[in-house]
Amino acid sequence: MNDEKEVTIYDIARELKLSASTVSRALKGNPIINYKTRQKVAECSEKLGYRTNAFASNLRRKKTNTIGVIVPRLDSHFLSSCLAGMEEVASTNGYNLIIAQSHESSKKEAENAVTMFNNRVDGLIVSLTAENNQPDYFRRFTEKHVPIVYFDRIPAKEDVTCVCANNFEAAYKATHHLIAKGCRRLLHITIPSASNVYADRCQGFEAAAKDAGCIASTLFLPALNMETGRDAANQIGKMSPRPEGIFVANDIAAAGCMLQLEELGIAVPNDILIIGFNNDPICMLVNPPLSSVSYCGRDAGMMAADRLFEMIDNYDFAFQKIIIDTSVIERESSLIKQ
């Protein structure tokens, strides 16, 4: 156990035989204290290991200059890009981020919410778990007028401020891309989820297939990762007839699916066309390069943070939905069939 006592301004004052108020003013750079005294105080504070108690100072101003961020996981290129955008905006505004991950668990998400609340964050940015799209554990923030911005995975209710893609439209465009290449038997690979992200992508896929009169089916996986993508490929290998075009709800699972299809002797794109979602770096690491839907995480993070600071600075709690643009990036995995 570390029993080392925290150095205070009173220790510095005692060391230099000054008043505590003089030390406090000197540390703040107050010009009423002459330069030599300010320099002595700075040198002494460094020697003794004094740390400014910014937390206590901010509490007196009823601000902590911290923003809480809760995300499903950190090992995601998209989410790490979002966090980079948020951090850039927060830093510009003189704020720090406190980041927590829910590990796709509503229970953990609720615990994270309590931690953020107890840390008195000035605002909160949240991407929900796939388990729950109607959480009530963030109510304590709105009751205390602490602004919240949801991003990517958002609540089902309308009375929130959020930043997200039009997942229905994006999935429709991705599916239409496969149809335009001549695919008539289509498969969507996703997870069963209450989240707007996967539910809307599934609906967009189904709508595009229906509008084009195509045969469409959906394969639900327990998760979307490399391993489950390979499992999906094994199931596809047993299908008769096989799908001609596959839209996968994320790029990691799509890459796993492609790799396993190759091992099964099913060629992409000669036998099956594939397109993923998020335009992760893995799209350029697999062979052939993977077509995907581009959705800029950095832009989403910056927009979410910008809106949060508008709410903080202007005490503006008007609900707003901000839509991020998406586009289909065509690569070799979906470019052969005509």
Q: Is the pLDDT of residue 42 over 80?
A: yes
Q: What is the pLDDT of residue 30?
A: 83
Tell me the percentage of the chain whose pLDDT exceeds 90: 71
The string of pLDDT tens digits covering residues 105-125 is 999 999 999 999 988 899 999
Residue 202 confidence class, pLDDT cut points 50, 70, 90 = very high
C-alpha span between 207 and 148 (Å, rounded) = 32
Query: What domains appear along the chain, each with residue ranges and CATH number?
Result: 9-52 (1.10.260.40), 63-165+297-325 (3.40.50.2300), 167-295+328-334 (3.40.50.2300)
Query: What does the buried/exposed string (b/e) look like for 130-160 if buried means 16 or more CB atoms within 10 Å of the residue's CB?
Result: bbbbebebbeebeeeebbbbbbbbbbeeeeb
Interstrand relation of 162-165 and 185-190 (parallel, antiparallel or unpaired): unpaired
Q: What is the pLDDT of residue 2?
A: 43
| DSSP sequence for 305-337 | HHHHHHHHHHT-----EEEEP-EEE--GGGSS-
User: What is the arithmetic mean of pLDDT over 144-171?
Assistant: 92
CA 85 to chain centre: 10
User: What is the arithmetic mean of pLDDT over 257-280?
Assistant: 96
User: What is the arithmetic mean of pLDDT over 66-81?
Assistant: 93
Q: Which H/E stretch holds residue 234?
A: helix 226-237
The string of pLDDT tens digits covering residues 279-297 is 999 999 999 999 999 989 9
Those residues with Cβ within 8 angstroms of residue 247's Cβ, 6 or more apart along the chain or in another chain: 171, 174, 175, 178, 186, 187, 188, 189, 205, 274, 275, 276, 277
Residue 4 confidence class, pLDDT cut points 50, 70, 90 = low
- Asked whether 165 and 321 are in contact (CB, 8 A), the reply is no
- Give the chain's mean pLDDT: 90
User: What is the arithmetic mean of pLDDT over 184-204?
Assistant: 93
The string of pLDDT tens digits covering residues 307-317 is 999 998 887 77
Residue 3 confidence class, pLDDT cut points 50, 70, 90 = very low
**C-alpha gyration radius of the chain:** 26
Q: Is the pLDDT of residue 60 over 60?
A: no
Those residues with Cβ within 8 angstroms of residue 50's Cβ, 6 or more apart along the chain or in another chain: 7, 8, 9, 11, 12
Q: Is the pLDDT of residue 336 over 80?
A: no
Residues 108, 111, 117, 118, Cα dihedral to 10°: -140
CA 318 to chain centre: 22
Q: What is the pLDDT of residue 8?
A: 84
Q: What's the whole-model pTM score? A: 0.79
- Asked whether 126 and 151 are in contact (CB, 8 A), the reply is yes
Q: Is the pLDDT of residue 218 over 70?
A: yes
C-alpha span between 201 and 111 (Å, rounded) = 29
Tell me the percentage of the chain whose pLDDT exceeds 70: 94
Tokens of 120: 């008195």
Q: What is the pLDDT of residue 263?
A: 95
Q: What is the pLDDT of residue 25?
A: 84
Q: Is the pLDDT of residue 228 over 80?
A: yes
Q: What is the pLDDT of residue 52?
A: 65
Q: Is the pLDDT of residue 298 over 50?
A: yes
- Whether residue 269 is preceded by a cis peptide bond, meaning omega within 30 degrees of 0, is yes
Q: What is the pLDDT of residue 62?
A: 67
For residue 191, give the nearest of 243, 133, 256, 253 by alpha carbon. Answer: 253
Per residue, what are the HEC states of 101-145?
A: ECCCCHHHHHHHHHHHHHCCCCEEEECCCCCCCCCCCCHHHHHCC
Residue 1 confidence class, pLDDT cut points 50, 70, 90 = very low
User: What is the arithmetic mean of pLDDT over 150-171?
Assistant: 92
Left, alpha or beta for 76 (phi > 0: left; psi -120 to 50: alpha)?
beta
- Asked whether 270 and 245 are in contact (CB, 8 A), the reply is no
Residues 146, 304, 55, 57, Cα dihedral to 10°: -70
Residue 5 confidence class, pLDDT cut points 50, 70, 90 = low
- Asked whether 282 and 255 are in contact (CB, 8 A), the reply is yes
Nearest 5 degrees, angle CA 64-CA 69-CA 75? 140
| DSSP sequence for 194-233 | SSHHHHHHHHHHHHHHHHTT-EEEEEE-SS-SHHHHHHHH
C-alpha span between 244 and 252 (Å, rounded) = 20
- Asked whether 189 and 171 are in contact (CB, 8 A), the reply is no
